[in-house]
Structures are given as structure tokens and as C-alpha cells.
Chains A and B, each alone.
Chain A
Amino acid sequence: MNASATSALERRPSLRYRRRYLTNLLGWTFYGVFFAVLAFALLDIIAVVLKHGIPAISLELFTKPTNGVSGGLLNAIIGTFLLTFGSLLLAAPVGILGGIYVAEYTASPFARAARYLSDVLVGVPSIVFGLFGYLAMVTWLGWHFSLLAGCITLALMIIPYILRTTELAFRGVVSELREAAYALGASHAKVTLKVILRACRGRVLTGVLLAMAISMGETAPLIYTVNWSNYVWGGHLTHEPVGYLTYVVWSFINEPFDSAHALAYAAALLVTVFVLVITTSTRLLLSRLDTHKPH
């Protein structure tokens, strides 16, 4: 190697080069730290819920209703189950059919308006839905705090969500499938329900499952429409308040009793595990749908 090349290699890197190097290093470090902070927050939330929640799990939890600030969670577990599936039962058909309309009639101004308004409605705070449920159903219709008022309120909240996910699912179906079905002489309803819906049912289902996770984790609208009850649901759709898990988390953690804290953590554990399992399995389902496209 000749002398001049050696000196060029041994020359100290220029100030500018070092500044660039340092900026790059700092930049990536910051980005990595930002990611780590978020990941840590999630893991810490899960850890706290598990750490305090698991010791609070007992057989009594699933067999006895709450009694003041102690007892079990039977009433709340049943209530959350009823509210979640009740709202889903009301919202899923409407949301899916509405999504079909918005996906299939793209040129109609009404469909475009419905899609835009769904997006706006998704952003309306849940407490506003709760207030509406209170004004419209609890007082105006005179249903009092009740299961039905809660289910309808939750359903109104998640309909626009299911509508939009269904629409996106339908748009993902290749048009050849549609053309082939029409070419065979199938009616509009048949093409949509038997061919396209079948082709994208996995994606429609993920939307419904995510909506289910949303309604399972809600609290604020239920305080306004369902309130709370220490008793297991007695079978009345109206005129009977119902217990639910998220209420226990919010209200029992502020009580100065260990039994209340244990119930709050147990309720948080149940809700969090359910919601995270639903969301994670939805993600897995989606990534599997992405790898093997059905058509």
C-alpha cells in the first residue's frame, strides 16, 4: 500500500461525518426507546393485572354474586356476558347489511354519506351514547336502568364499526368472483350473501369480534344506562339494573377494603384477558387470511 492511501485512511473522520454518525445513532436509539416505552407500558399493565388478579381468583368468584364490597362476581360475569352478546346480536346483522350496502353501491351519494357518517359516529365518545341511552330509553321510554337500554346503547356504538370493517372486507373480494356469479344468473342477494360474503366471511368475523371486544370493555355508557346491581339478572329486559365487570373495576378499587380491591383486580383480570385474547386471535386470523387468500 502506498503512503498517500495510508494517510487518507488514517485521517480523522471529518466533523461532518462524525456529526452524521452521532445523529444517526441518537435517532435510532430514541426511536427504539420510544418503542420500548410503549411495549413496556402494555406489558406492565398486563403484569399488574395478572399479579393482583390471579391471587383473587377463587371458586366463589364464579358461584356467588357480590355482596356489598365482598362476595363473588357471578352477577357481574353474567351481566357482562348478556350485555356483550345482546349488543352483538342487535348490531351484527345491521352492521353487516349496512356494510354490504356501502361496499356494493359505491356510486350512490347516500352510500358515500353513510360511510362518512359511520366514520364520524365511530369517533363520538361512548359517554355521549350513554347519555343518549339515558335520555331516550331510561327516562323517555321509561325503561329505567336496564339490560335492554344497555344493549341498545352498546349496539348503536358498535354498528358503525362493524359496518366499516364489513365494507373493507367486501372490497377485498376480487371482482372476477362477482362477475362469475352474475354470469351464472344468480340474483343480487344470492351473489352478495352466498358468494361474496362467503369469500370474505373471515374478515367480516374479525370486525364483529373486535366490536365484541369493544363492547366488553366499555364502562361509561353502561353507568348511564344499566347502572349496577348486586343481584344476578332476574330475567327482566327493562326495569332491572344489571351488574357488569367493568363497573367493579372502577368503583371497587376506590373502596378502602381489601375484599373490594380483590374483586376489582379479579374483574380487571377477566375483562383484560378476554379482550386481549379476542384481539390477539383476531390478529392471528387476519394474518392467516393474508397468507392464504381464499380465492
Chain B
Amino acid sequence: MLTDWRFWFSVPAVLALGVVVLFPTGFLFWMSVSHWILTEPGVYFYGFQNFATLLNSSAFHSAAWVTVSYLVLSTTIMLGLGFAFALALSRPGSPGYLRALIVMPLVIPPVVAGFTWRFLLNGEIGFLGAYLLPAIGLETNLLASPVGALFSIVIADVWSRTPFMFLIFLAALQSIPRDYYEAIRLDGAKRFQEFWLVTLPMMKGAVSVAILFRIIDALNTFELIYVMTKGGPGRATQTFSLLGWKIAFQGFDFGGAAALGVVMVFATTIVALIVFRRFMRSA
């Protein structure tokens, strides 16, 4: 039977993903309950000590706060910009190269995005930080102040990741049936009412998908922050992934870092479930 044969075609891929995703995730849980210091010999069961230490540390609390503020700030700006870009380019017949140009930051290495913005915003030599911003009376070294550094990272991230939202919104906008607009126009709706009563409600599903992927993306953001501020000044831009890297590869505490990894897995799962429940059903 043909179908049976073809089923086996999926086995190598499933096995490969088992090795690089499934097994590691399972192993992470074991690591998180182990006393596992890279520089010390011996790994032993440690119960929930890693979690207790982690959840009580001030570094974790500040990372939670930084991650959430960075997430909220960047997501809000990206949603707005991505929507605006998509509306401007959704008309059939907009040239394809325009779309590709707008999407370009998404295919540039995020390390390069981080470096470029660090260069632009530098308070001594940067075009924006040392020339343009002072020219309009903003004499601050953004990257050196805690709030400024967070904003700098948000700006660079917005530059790098807004195209993803743009793509989701563009696809959604183009799939809204033309008839809906015609129908509401026959009822005498103004442009703004068309937008409010047709476009926005039809975009609900796309917005929730965009937010979901954005949250995952934001939890994964590492190199941008690493290149721009390394988490500083102080802990001002130290998100969960930066903190995890520091615990594992500067403190050599693999158990503690794994505990943070487990917390991140749970956080993502919970958020994903909420978003799915709340929006996907109605969409």
C-alpha cells in the first residue's frame, strides 16, 4: 500500500528533530534538578534547590522586569509600525521589490543590526547619538543610561523584527474579501469606518499570531543585546536569555541555568495557550 510506504518518509526528519530538540528538552529538565557546576567534578540530584536559588535571586527579578518591559515596549511599537507598513503596501500591484526592501532587515544577521545601531547611537561618534540628537537638543548618551539603553535595544530590535509583523499583516490584509468593503460602502460607510468595522476585526487572528511569535522571538533575543550592551549598564538590559548565558558560561552553573531554561519553557507554553485560547477560537 502506497500510503504506508510514504509514512516512513517522515521518520528521518522526526528522528533528527528528536536528537536536536526533543532529547535536549527532556534532558534540560534533568539538568534543572541536578547540582551541575561545570568546574566541579560530580553531578548529583539536587531536588528543587536550583529553582529556589534562582527564584529568590535579585538577578532573576530584575531580568523578569527587564524582559517584560522590553517585550511590551517593542511589541507595541512593532505592531503599530508593522500594521502601518502593511496598510501602505497592501494594495494589489505594489511592486514586489518594495516589499523585499522593507523585509530586508529580517534577513540581515541580528548581530549586524545590533552593531549598526550601536554605531549610530554612540554618544561620541555616532551619527544619531553624537550629531543628530544633540542638534535637536537631546544631549544624552543613550547607551550609557539604564532607560536609554533599554530604548536603544528596542529601537534596534524594532528595526530588525518589524518586517516579520509586516509580512503577517500583509498576508492577512490581502486575504480580506473585497466584497466586505463594497458591502459596507453601499451602506454609506466612511473610510475610517471601513477601517474600524471591516479591516480591524478581520485582522484579529493575524494580530494574535503576530503577538505569539513576537513573544517567542523576544524571549530568544540574545545577540542584539549582547552586541549592544552585554546586558548593561548594570542589569538594565539583562533579559532572561542574557542572564541564562551568564549563569551557564560565566558562573558555570549549568543546573541553575537549566532551571531558568525550564522557567522559560513554562512561560512560553502558558503564554501560547492563553493566546491560542483567547484569540484563535474566535478567529
Task: Indicate whether A and B interact.
Answer: no
- Residues of chain B whose beta carbon lies under 8 Å from any beta carbon of chain A: none
- Residues of chain A whose beta carbon lies under 8 Å from any beta carbon of chain B: none
